[in-house]
């Protein structure tokens, strides 16, 4: 059973280290040497969400940090969290956070990011 936990821990580390790349869950499964569907079931049972949902959460969390602590454009933030299409990124962000990245920045920006 410990090796199953190890697979999930390695998957979490991989996602945290590679979220800024155009990484897919198939890439993750290949890296771990697992079938994609097996990885999905294992990850979902131990983390409580799919690998794809976890990847999205990591990307949105990092985007929130960049929105509040930098003056990067939305396009640059989208690229830095793994999305080439900033409109797609904005739709995903709004779905997760209930507001656009620009609205989020206006309501959450820290004072030191303006310097």
Task: Supply the pLDDT for residue 111.
Answer: 65
Tens digits of residue pLDDT in 91-108: 999 999 999 999 999 999
Residues 41 and 64 reside in one and the same domain: no
Q: Where residue 64 sits, what CATH number does that domain have?
A: 1.10.10.60
- Clarify whether residues 75 and 109 are in a common domain: yes
Please tell me the predicted confidence (pLDDT) of residue 1. Answer: 56
Two tokens, residue 7? 């697979």
Domain that holds residue 65: 55-114
Parts of the chain with a pLDDT under 70: 1-4, 110-115
Do 40 and 62 share a domain, yes or no? Answer: no
What total of structural domains would you count in the chain?
2
Predicted local distance difference test score (pLDDT) of residue 3:
64
Cβ atoms of 89 and 78 within 8 Å: the answer is yes
pLDDT of residue 5: 79
* Global pTM value: 0.88
Measured distance CA(25)–CA(15) in Å, rounded: 9
């Amino acid at each position: 059973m410990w090796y199953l936990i190890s697979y999930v821990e390695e998957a979490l580390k991989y996602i945290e280290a590679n979220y800024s790349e155009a990484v897919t869950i198939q890439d993750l499964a290949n890296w771990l040497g697992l079938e994609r569907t097996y990885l999905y079931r294992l990850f979902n049972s131990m983390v409580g969400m799919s690998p794809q949902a976890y990847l999205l959460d990591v990307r949105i969390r990092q985007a929130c940090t960049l929105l509040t602590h930098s003056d990067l454009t939305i396009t640059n933030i989208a690229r830095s969290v793994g999305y080439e299409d900033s409109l797609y990124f904005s739709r995903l962000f709004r779905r997760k956070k209930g507001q656009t990245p620009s609205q989020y920045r206006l309501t959450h920006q820290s004072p030191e990011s303006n310097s």
